[in-house]
């Protein structure tokens, strides 16, 4: 199994090599192809400990991709101007079946555009969707789409529901994922023209278990396993969750540290706080799958550490092993 890793991606690109090494040591059935400037990568590999090199053997390769795309560039134009960037080279390899998966912590825009324009959608899928795992304690939630498509047609959201359901079955081992539709009320008639049309499509879809409309306040309360949204609303929801969580934890910390009694209380509760923090630990999750393209693509967070990169590679390996792409192709075949 060949997994291409964008060795230049993320805020601290050095973590990519460390994450790749840990993944190679953990899984003997994968080859990790580091995509980036060849000379730099070979230097870094040569500095690895000999024992580690021996254990990895020939399962670490280098794909020379000297052209870099940063997060502040127009993604599509940057891809066209730099065909030797990790994004274009990796997506082309997926399209040509020369690689099975691509993992990147780099530019989200370039990542999504490379999937749509170079890896291309599987037949029957109109647009790829970015799934985001929200670590809801006890019932992980997949939000799809979390930002790839800001303007959507009803049929696209119908496909997002199918793809999200397949992902949760095959990767998260949820036997019958409940699929909810993000809306501003639970009744069928609520929402805008888009959500009302999508509701009708999902209600009739036999391949999924439709849980109806879900309001944003119930989304992280364990109401469903897959939450379908257009990328505009989905992105607002996920950023709101991130922001609210951050502010809330900050307020709790500030409140506890403002008095001696609070500090003693915090000390007594630190085990509980640690457990809560662990349950929201995104480094265990890996990254966001770009569903619907002709290969496995995982977008890790820009501030990913080595553990997150290893998790994203593991996630890619799971998706390839479970043939998620093939199952999405089969699940949407009637729409081709």
Give the CA diameter of the chain.
65
Residue whose CB is less far from another protein, 152 or 198: 152
Nearer to another protein, 63 or 113 (CB): 113
Shortest CB 277 distance to another protein, Å = 39
Minimum CB–partner distance for residue 149 and another protein (Å): 8
Return the exposure string of 252-285: e unless at least 16 CB atoms fall within 10 Å of the residue's CB, then b: eeeebeeeeeeeeeeeeeeeeeeeeeeeeebbeb
For the bound state, the minimum distance from the C-beta of residue 297 to another protein, rounded and expressed in Å, comes to 16
| Cβ-based nearer residue to another protein, 151 or 193 | 151
Residue that is written with structure tokens 């890793």 in the block: 5
Residue 167 · residue 131 · CB < 8 Å: yes
Nearer to another protein, 83 or 326 (CB): 83
Cα 157–Cα 167–Cα 31 angle in degrees, nearest 5: 130
Is the Cβ of residue 104 or residue 114 nearer to another protein in the bound state?
114
Q: Are 296 and 5 in contact (CB under 8 A)?
A: no
Q: Which residues here bind another protein, judged by CB under 8 A?
A: 76-77, 80, 116-117, 127, 151
- Name residues whose C-beta falls within 8 Å of residue 220's C-beta, 6 or more positions apart in sequence: 134, 136, 141, 241
CB 115, min distance to another protein, A: 11
For the CB of residue 308, give the shortest distance to another protein in the complex, in Å.
29
Q: How far is the CB of 127 from another protein (least distance, A)?
A: 7
232 or 280, CB closer to another protein?
232
Give me 102's structure tokens: 């691509």
Q: What is the 3-state secondary structure (H, E, C) of 194-251?
A: HHHHHHHHHHHCCCCEEEEEEEHHHHCCCCCCEEECCHHHHHHHHHHHHHHHHHHHHH
Report whether the peptide linkage leading into residue 145 is cis, meaning its omega lies within 30 degrees of zero: yes
């Amino acid at each position: 199994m060949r997994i291409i890793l964008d060795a230049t991606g993320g805020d601290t690109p050095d973590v990519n090599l460390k994450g790749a090494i840990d993944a190679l040591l953990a899984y003997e059935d994968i080859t990790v192809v580091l995509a980036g400037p060849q000379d730099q990568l070979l230097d870094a590999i040569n500095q690895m400990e000999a024992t580690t090199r021996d254990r990895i053997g020939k399962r670490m390769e280098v794909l020379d991709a000297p052209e870099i795309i940063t997060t502040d560039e127009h993604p599509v134009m940057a891809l066209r101007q730099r065909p030797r960037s990790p994004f274009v080279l990796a997506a082309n390899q997926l399209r040509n079946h020369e690689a099975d998966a691509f993992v990147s912590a780099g530019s989200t825009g370039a990542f999504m555009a490379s999937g749509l324009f170079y890896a291309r959608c599987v037949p029957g899928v109109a647009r790829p969707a970015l799934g985001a795992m929200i670590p809801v304690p006890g019932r992980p939630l997949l939000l799809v789409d979390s930002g790839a498509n800001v303007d959507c047609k009803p049929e696209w959201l119908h496909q997002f529901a199918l793809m999200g359901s397949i992902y949760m079955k095959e990767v998260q081992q949820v036997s019958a994922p409940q699929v909810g539709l993000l809306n501003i009320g639970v009744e069928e008639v609520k929402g805008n023209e888009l959500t009302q049309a999508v509701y009708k499509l999902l209600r009739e879809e036999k391949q999924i278990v439709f849980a109806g409309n879900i309001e944003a306040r119930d989304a992280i309360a364990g109401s469903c396993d897959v939450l379908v949204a257009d990328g505009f609303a989905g992105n607002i929801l996920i950023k709101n969750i991130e922001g609210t969580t951050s502010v809330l934890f900050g307020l709790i910390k500030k409140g506890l540290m403002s008095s001696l009694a609070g500090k003693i209380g915090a000390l007594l509760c630190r085990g509980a706080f640690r457990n809560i923090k662990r349950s929201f630990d995104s480094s265990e999750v890996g990254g966001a799958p770009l569903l619907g393209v002709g290969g496995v693509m995982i977008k890790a967070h820009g501030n990913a550490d080595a553990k997150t990169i290893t998790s994203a590679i593991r996630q890619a390996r799971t998706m390839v092993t479970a043939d998620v792409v093939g199952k999405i192709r089969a699940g949407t075949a009637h729409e081709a």
